[in-house]
Chains A and B, each alone.
Chain A
Amino acid sequence: MNWTLALPILVPFCAAALAFLLRNRRGSGWISVGGSVLSLILALQLLAEVLRHGVIATQMSAWAAPFGITLAADYLSAAMVLITAIIGLAVALWGMAEVGQISARMGWHGLFQTLIGGVTGAFLTGDLFNLYVWFEVLLISSFGLLVIGGQRKAVDGAVKYVTLNLISTVLFLCAAGLTYGATGTLNMADLRAAVAAHPDQGLMTVIAMMFMIGFGLKAAVFPLFFWLPASYHTPHYAVSAVFAGLLTKVGVYALIRVFTLIFVGDQGYTHEILLWVACLTMLTGVLGAAAQSDFRKILSFHIISQIGYMVLGLALMTPLAVMGGVFYLLHHIIVKANLFLVAGVSRRLTGSSDLYAIGGLYRSAPLLAVLFLIPAFSLAGFPPLSGFWAKYVLVKASLDLGQGLVAFVALLTGLLTIFSMTKIWAEAFWKAHPDGRQPRLASIPARARVLLLSPMIALALMTVLIGLFPDPFVTFATTGAEQLLDPSAYVATVLERGAE
C-alpha cells in the first residue's frame, strides 16, 4: 500500500527527467505521453485501493506520524489524482500537436510532467509544510511553461502571474510557520486536535485567515483573482488548458482540506466570509466574462465564476453542499480543460482568438461545434450534462439552509454563463467568417488532427457520461463529503499507521 501512494507522484518526475534528457530527439513528447499513461494506471489502482479501504495513508521512509511526512488519500484526494492523470494524458497528447520543436527543445515536456507531479503531490500529502513544497514545485514549473514559446504578451502575463503567486506563497509559508509555532505539529491529521485544543482560539482564527488568503489567491477567488485573466490567455493553448483545469483547483482543494479538517473551530466567522467570497466570486467572474470578446479571456473569467460554486459548497458546510462542491470540482476540471482545447483548435483553424475576427466554424467544422457545445452547455448547467447536477445540488443545498439569496446568485450566474457561451457560439461558430474563410478540420494534417481531436472527444464523452449516469458519481461524492465533514477515519488512519 505504501507504494500505491508514492508512485503516482514519482512516475511523473521520472517521465520529466527522461523527457528532458531526450528533449532533442523527435519522440520526446511520447515519453511524456507514456508517463501519463502509467500515471493513469497508477491513479486507477490508487482509487481502487481507496474504494476498498476508505482512507489509506503511509509514512515516507517509515518515519512515524506525526513526525515524518505523511501521504494520505481519501475519496477526494484519490479522485483528484485520477482527474489529474486524465487531464495530464489528454493535454500531453494534445500538446504534441501544438508544442513545436523549439519549445520541446527548451524542455516543455519535462516541465509539463513536473507540473503534473507537483499537482499530484499536493493532492496526496498529509503534511502542511510538504503541501507548501508541492505548491512551489508546481509554481516553478508553471512559471517555466508560461514563458516558453510565448511572445511578448506571455512575458506581460507572466509578470503578473509570478508576482501575485509569490505573495500568496509567502503568506502560506508564514501561516504554516506560525501554525507550527503555536501547535508544535504540521501533520494535518494531528493538527485537527492540536488546533481545537489550543487555548487561544482567536490566534487560530487569525492563522486560518492567513491560509484563506494564501489559498484564495491561488484559487482566484473574488478580491484576489486579478492575475488569472491577465495571464491565462497568453501561453500555449495546451498550457492554458492544464492551468485552467488543474492549477486553481489545487487552491480550491487546499481550501477544502484546511477548512474541513483543521480550522473548523470558528465556522460562524470563517465560513461566513467564505460564503460572501463565493457569491461575489461567482458574480464578478461571470460579469467579467460578459465584457470580454476574446475566446480564451471569456473562458478565463468563467474559471473564476466556477471557483465560486466550489467555494460555495465548502462555505455552506452541510453534507449536501460539500457533496455538490466536490462534484462540481471534479466535473469542472474536465469541462474547463476541454473548452480551452476547443479554443486552441478554433484558433488554429481561424487564425485568431478575437471573436469579432473569426467565424464560420459551425458550417465548416461541425464536429468542433459539437465538441464545443457539450462542455459549454455542461458549464452553463443544462440538463442532462454533468454541470446540471452539480448546480442543482448546490442550489438545493442553499435553499435547504434558507439561503435564498445565495441560491438566486448561483442561478443568476448560470444564466449569465449561458449568455457568454451564446456569445462565443454566435461569433465563432454561427456567423460567417468576416474574411470569408472556410476553416476546415481537414486542413490540419492527419497526425495532428488525431492528436488534437481524440483527447477532446474523450473528455466530451466523459462529460456526457457523468451527465447521463450521475448515480455512481453522486454516491462517490456523497461518501467523499461525509469523509470531509467527519474526518475521524482520516485522522485515525494517518496517526494509527504511525503508531505501529
Chain B
Amino acid sequence: MKSLILTTGARLLIALFLVFSLYVLLRGHNAPGGGFIGGLIAACGFAIHAFASGVAEARRALRVDPRVIGVLGLVCALAAGLMAWPLGFDPFAGVWGEVAGYKVSSVLLFDIGVYLAVVGGILTLIFALEETL
C-alpha cells in the first residue's frame, strides 16, 4: 500500500520518534521512562517507515540487521554487568564514574542495552511478520 500522505508524514515522524526515544531513554534514570519504553518508541518509528515505504526500504534505512542490533544490546547489558568484576563489586552492581563533569554509570549502559535489545527484537519480529504476510 503506497500512500503519499503516509510516506511524506513518515519522514517527519521517524525523526521525531527517534529523538523522542533518546530523550525518554536518558530521562529514565530518575523519572518515568527508560530503555524499554524508549526502545519501543524508536521501534515504532521504523515500523511506521516500514508500513509507509515497505520493509525493504525500512531495512535499508536501518542499515544493520535488526537481529544484530538486538545482540549488541545484549552485549551492552552483559558489559554493564561484567564491568563490576575488575573493580571488585558484586555482579551487576552499579559502577559510577565522572566524565567531563557528567556522571556516567554502568546502569546507563545497561539501559542502553535494553533500548537496543528492544529495538532489535521488535523490528526483527515486525519485519519478519510483514514479509511473510
Contact = CB atoms under 8 A, between A and B. Distances in A.
Chain A in direct contact with chain B (Cβ < 8 angstroms): yes
Given A17-B71, A21-B71, A10 B81 contact: yes
B61 interface: no
B85 interface: yes
A13 B78 CA distance: 8
A3 B71 contact: no
Interface in A76-121: 107, 110
Nearest to B81: A10
B67 A59 contact: no
Interface in B60-91: 67-68, 71-72, 74-75, 78, 81-82, 84-85, 89-91
Contacts of A60: 90-92
A61 B67 contact: no
A10 B83 CA distance: 12
B90 A2 contact: yes
A16 B85 CA distance: 20
A20 B75 CA distance: 11
Contacts of A5: 91
Given A3-B85, A20-B67, A21-B68, A61 B92 contact: yes
Contacts of A14: 78, 82
Interface residues of A, number: 19
Interface in A14-29: 14, 16-17, 20-21
A16 to B, nearest CB: 8
B90 A110 contact: no
A59 B68 contact: no
Contacts of A107: 67
B93 interface: yes
B33 interface: no
A141 to B, nearest CB: 12
A16 B74 CA distance: 10
A16 B78 CA distance: 11
A6 interface: yes
Contacts of A2: 90-91
Say which size band chain B's interface belongs to: 10 to 19
A101 B91 CA distance: 36
B54 interface: no
Contacts of B93: 61-62
A17 B71 CA distance: 6
Interface in A331-377: none
A60 B85 CA distance: 12
A20 B71 contact: yes
A58 interface: yes
Interface in B84-122: 84-85, 89-94
A2 B75 CA distance: 21
Contact of A17 (B74, B89, B94): B74
Given A10-B81, A10-B82, A17-B74, A3 B91 contact: yes
B91 to A, nearest CB: 4
Interface string A30-71: 000000000000000000000000000011111000000001
Contacts of A71: 91
A110 B67 CA distance: 12
A3 B78 CA distance: 14
Nearest to B85: A3
Nearest to A14: B78
Interface of B: 67-68, 71-72, 74-75, 78, 81-82, 84-85, 89-94
26 contacts: A2-B90, A2-B91, A3-B85, A5-B91, A6-B91, A6-B92, A10-B78, A10-B91, A13-B74, A14-B78, A14-B82, A17-B71, A17-B78, A20-B68, A21-B72, A21-B75, A58-B90, A60-B90, A60-B91, A60-B92, A61-B89, A61-B90, A61-B93, A61-B94, A62-B90, A107-B67
Interface of A: 2-3, 5-6, 10, 13-14, 16-17, 20-21, 58-62, 71, 107, 110
Closest 7 CB pairs of A and B: A6-B91, A61-B93, A62-B90, A61-B92, A20-B71, A17-B75, A2-B90
